[in-house]
Structure 1
Amino acid sequence: MSSPPIITSSSFSSSNPFSSLPEDVIRAHIFPRLDGCSLASVGCVTPELHSLSSDHQLWSHICHSKWPSTTTSTLTHLISSFKGGSRSFFSLSTLPPNHNIPSPSPSLSALPDQIISAVDIFYRGKCIFSKVQATETVSGWFKCSPFRIDLVGPKEAVPTPISRPSHEDTCQNLYADLELSWIVVDPTGHKAVNVSSLLPVSVERHWLSGEVHILYATVVCGHVTCSVEVTCVGGGPGGLVLHVTEACLKMEDIDGAHLNGRDSLVVLQRVLEGKRGNLCSENRKMGKVEEGRKKYLEFLERRKERREKILRREGRLDNLCVMIGSFLFVGLFYLLCFY
């Protein structure tokens, strides 16, 4: 397929043949060839193009192509209730959230009673896993337990076309080949955010079991990570391909402690209310991915420095306790010997 046409204000002027094209031709044969970012850019050229590019069916098709999970009846109905419909959903879900969100903490009464996860995993551009799952957020069990959303049951295994790596394979190709989208949707507030780093920040193969652990992580609010952990094991005839046996969303603070459901919901609500910027080009999106990976590495460095600082402080306290204990022992020994 040839590259999408480049449309500018000059190309839409009355002296250009493009302006004489029927609207049906533009809507049916030109706009469907554009991705979401390009279509949004075209809509900024002229009022006429803006009107044509705002077609709900166009944006619905773009969302369905980009995220197969949006084709489910649950999400289709929910997205239609968004202000701006599919275009608004695409804008909210395309870019990862900002790392530092200045918005104030939401009130507990404003927290959603339910969140919906729309998850899609792609291998070399082809979807290999897609699921939509609702999670209630009002029970005491959810609020007090460590926050965790599992998409694959303990006895489930999702087959993939990924070849099982050999003992010498470091799985470096998966950094570029395996993309994951995890969109969290607030059905009552009509908001959505993609909490995944899109591309992995870490891929490790266990030397003994052969399990491949893939981590997608995004730093939010400066001190919390939204982590998506995917585990793959060998399966199929002869165990020659990988099967997904685990895909879960967690949240951790700067000390590596898991947040409970209530605290995680507050963080998610702040992220849902935060700005994600305008629709952008693919190059800029990849820049955001690299920036997110850099932020995550910086976050790990801060965590390491914090742990080392705590260990040094605890070491000084231990030494102080030993010194005090030694002085007390010597003093007691002196009293017993000379009095």
Structure 2
Amino acid sequence: MALSTTTQVNSITSLSSDLFYDILRRLDGPTLASAACACAAFCSISREERLWENVCSSLWPSTNREEVKNLISSIGGFRKFYADCFPLIVNKEVPDYQWNEYLEYNEEWNEADYYGDVDELESISPSDFISLVDVRFKDQIIFSK
């Protein structure tokens, strides 16, 4: 008679976090974000920056370049980058704005003067921007720069 050894898993929390990580690293962005809402263990592991770097690089190969990785890391990381690219849509009713006819606004002021957020040293030039281009055709990357 053969002895069988079986291990019973009482709950998902008794499984290894390495196993969870291995599962989550195979998901696309929307599925990973959904899984993060499923349980505390998935939520914790889904905060791993490497998971989101994998998602971004599979979706946008241009994010594999070292200078792009450094830039994305400097602005909050791949998780934030992904979230900024796919913002959450929240349906809220916005009340109509009631214009105040008596609000004084000097016609010679620009918006920054009016709101008081003028920074004399701040200027933006074309070299401050970066261009990432990934072209897909029939779900295949045909160009990435």
Instruction: Please indicate the TM-score interval, normalised by the length of the shorter structure.
Output: 0.5 to 0.7
Aligned to 2:21: 27
1:47-62 alignment to 2 at 5 Å? 47-62=40-55
| SS of residue matched to 2:144 | strand
**C-alpha displacement of 1:122:** 0.3
The one-letter code matched in structure 2 to 1:56 is E
Alignment partner of 1:67 is 2:60: yes
**C-alpha displacement of 1:111:** 5.8
**C-alpha displacement of 1:42:** 1.7
The one-letter code matched in structure 2 to 1:86 is F
Count of residues in correspondence between the two structures: 109
- Percent identity over paired residues: 34
- Contact kept, 8 Å, 2:13 with 2:41, in 1: the verdict is no
**C-alpha displacement of 1:108:** 7.0
Aligned to 2:29: 36
1:132-211 alignment to 2 at 5 Å? none
Q: Distance in 1 between matches of 2:26 and 2:13?
A: 18
Q: Distance in 2 between matches of 1:56 and 1:36?
A: 13
Aligned to 1:87: 79
**C-alpha displacement of 1:47:** 2.9
In terms of Rg, which structure is larger? Answer: 1
Q: Distance in 2 between matches of 1:72 and 1:127?
A: 16
Deviations 1:48-67 (A, max 9, x none): 22111111111111110000
Deviations 1:248-288 (A, max 9, x none): xxxxxxxxxxxxxxxxxxxxxxxxxxxxxxxxxxxxxxxxx
Aligned to 1:128: 142
CA RMSD, Structure 1 to Structure 2 (Å): 2.8
**Cα separation, partners in 2 of 1:72 and 1:20, compared to 1, 3 Å:** same
1:269-288 alignment to 2 at 5 Å? none
The one-letter code matched in structure 2 to 1:34 is L
Deviations 1:99-133 (A, max 9, x none): xxx9xx776746644111211100111111111xx
TM-score under structure 1 length normalisation = 0.29
- Contact kept, 8 Å, 2:17 with 2:41, in 1: the verdict is no
List alignment gaps of at least 5 residues for structure 1: 1-13, 132-339
Deviations 1:223-260 (A, max 9, x none): xxxxxxxxxxxxxxxxxxxxxxxxxxxxxxxxxxxxxx
Q: Distance in 2 between matches of 1:24 and 1:47?
A: 15
TM-score under structure 2 length normalisation = 0.64
Q: Distance in 1 between matches of 2:39 and 2:49?
A: 18
List alignment gaps of at least 5 residues for structure 2: 1-8, 95-110
